[in-house]
Amino acid sequence: MRVPTWYSGWRRPIWIASLVAILALNLLNFQLAFYQTGVNPRLILPYHLNVLLGWLISIGFALWFAVLIHWEFRNSPRSLASTLFLPVVEGLVSSVSALSRSFYFLHTVPYFFAVGAKWANAHFALTYRRLATLLACWAVCFAISLVLVQFLRIHVYFLAYEPAFFSVPGEKSVFATPTVGAELSNQIKPMAREISKLFVDRWIGLEGVLAVSSYPQVGLPLLAEGLQEDPKKGSAGLYQRISKSRAEISERFTFGTLPGITGVLFYSGSLTMVIFGTMLVTLMMIGTEFAALRFTANPLLASLMALGMANVVCQNNFPYLAAVYVAQLWVAVAFVWLVQRTAPQPTGATQQV
């Protein structure tokens, strides 16, 4: 796939502008919570701009980095080792900004899969020494992201801290009342215990099946209600009632348990619906990944999209949000395809399909 001819001349300003935009938006997100786990936005922008900014933080900037790294590799293959450190930085910044322990993983691990699948083309630029350095850096930053996210969650969730870099127009209250008895000292132990169970205490799909299958009113009407449910219901949503979630409705926070795609489909009470529904969703994800490869020829981009979709489907609660997420991915693929189409075909070259 051709690299736009203007990229070589503008590569430095493009990289600088991208890095500045990522840092600036994530800093704003830290205060205004456009996209933070469990935290309601402190500022609602017109024309649904919160959705766009939240998407940029959750996956948009990660996809843009994948595009730039791929272009850089096509222009200068030897630069691959140095450019692969940048997703590590982006993943660390976005995970801390969004209070998400999974963002770092979702934004960086796809590169290992993509490079491993294309190792025959990448091994000359990634010596074993450089690869070991990259892996060590990834592991250190992963530990840093977990510590920082947990530290901030203690302050935001339990100590009711709100960053105040500048005033928020029209905000009713700037600082929330701290939870009674919440102190940093008595929250470190439970947070450390939460980290220790991070990879074994996540039973979203199984919990969804158990909760929904025991609900007495499953059927097509319940499935229709679940598919059309407004995400703004948050803690008062359908599955929160089914699972008897103990999450309280708050002006500042929205917490809840997640059914996953299997739980949502089982609202119908039909195993056939679950089997064919899961099959269709899987085919949709595979089709989106193949479309990304077909129209952009960028395995980094396709790998990021694949893992992002898998995470959204696994933790699905409101199908509407999942549909919007996939639609945004298709828009991103179309955008990259159009940009790369601006690159003129070399004289005498034959376009490869």
- Write the pLDDT tens digit of every residue in 136-155: 999 999 999 988 998 888 88
- Mean pLDDT for 195-211 is 74
Task: Give how many domains the chain has, as a whole number.
Answer: 2
Task: Return the DSSP state at 244.
Answer: T
Final residue before a domain boundary, out of 201, 236, 264: 201
Question: Among 14-18, 186-190, 302-306, where is mean pLDDT lowest?
Answer: 186-190
Q: Does one domain contain both 218 and 196? A: no
Residue 170 has pLDDT above 80, yes or no: no
Q: The domain containing residue 307 runs over which residues?
A: 202-346
Q: Does one domain contain both 318 and 261? A: yes
Q: Does one domain contain both 162 and 219? A: no
Does a structural domain hold residue 351? Answer: no
**CB neighbour burial string for 105-142, b if at least 16 within 10 angstroms, e if fewer:** bbbbbbbebbbeeeeeebeebbeeeebeebeeebeebb
Q: Which residues contact 55 (CB under 8 A, 6 or more apart)?
A: 35, 325, 328
CA distance 103 to 211: 27
Does a structural domain hold residue 352? Answer: no
Does a structural domain hold residue 138? Answer: yes
The pLDDT value given to residue 353: 33
Q: Does one domain contain both 239 and 192? A: no
Instruction: For residue 348, count other CB atoms closer than 10 A to its CB.
Output: 5
The pLDDT value given to residue 351: 40
The pLDDT value given to residue 125: 75
Q: 0.75 cut: is pTM over it?
A: yes
Residue 180 has pLDDT above 70, yes or no: no
